[in-house]
Amino acid sequence: MLEVKNLNVSIGGRKILNDFNLTVQDGEVAAIMGPNGTGKSTLSYVIAGRKDYTVETGEVFLNGVNLLELEPDVRAAKGLFLAFQYPLEIPGVATLTFLKAALNAQRKQRGEEELSTPDFMKRVKQASDKLGIKSDMLKRALNVGFSGGEKKRMDILQMALLEPSFGILDETDSGLDIDALRVVAEGVNSLRAPNRGFLVITHYQRLLDYIVPDTVHVMAQGQIVRTGGKELALELEKSGYRDYVTEQAVA
Ligand code: ADP
Ligand code: MG
Ligand code: MG
The pLDDT tens digits of the residues spanning 130-175 come to 888 899 999 999 888 888 888 888 889 999 999 999 999 998 777 7
pTM summary value: 0.91
Max mean pLDDT range (13-22, 146-155, 198-207)? 13-22
Give the integer Cα–Cα distance in Å for 1 and 28. 9
Q: Which of 38, 27, 57, 14 is nearest to 223 (CA)?
A: 38
Ligand 3: centre distance to CA 250 (Å): 17
Angle between the N-to-C axes of helices 148-162 and 95-109, in degrees from 0 to 180, rounded to the nearest 10 = 30
Distance (Å, rounded) from C-alpha 48 to C-alpha 74? 10
Q: What ligand 1 atom has the least distance to the C-alpha of 170?
A: 2
Q: Distance (Å, rounded) from C-alpha 188 to C-alpha 70? A: 26
* Cβ neighbour number for residue 226 with a 10 Å cutoff: 16
d(CA 158, CA 200): 16
Query: What is the distance between the alpha carbons of residues 110 and 59, in angstroms, rounded to a whole number?
Result: 23
* pLDDT > 90 in the chain, percent: 65
Closest ligand 1 atom to residue 45 Cα is 6
Q: Domain spans of the chain?
A: 2-250
Its CATH architecture, for the domain 2-250, is 3-Layer(aba) Sandwich (3.40)
Ligand 1 nearest-atom number relative to CA 52: 23
Q: How many A from CA of 39 to the centre of ligand 1?
A: 6
Are the C-beta atoms of residues 207 and 185 closer than 8 Å to each other? yes
Position 124, amino acid: V
Name which residue sits closest to atom 5 of ligand 1, judged by CA. 39
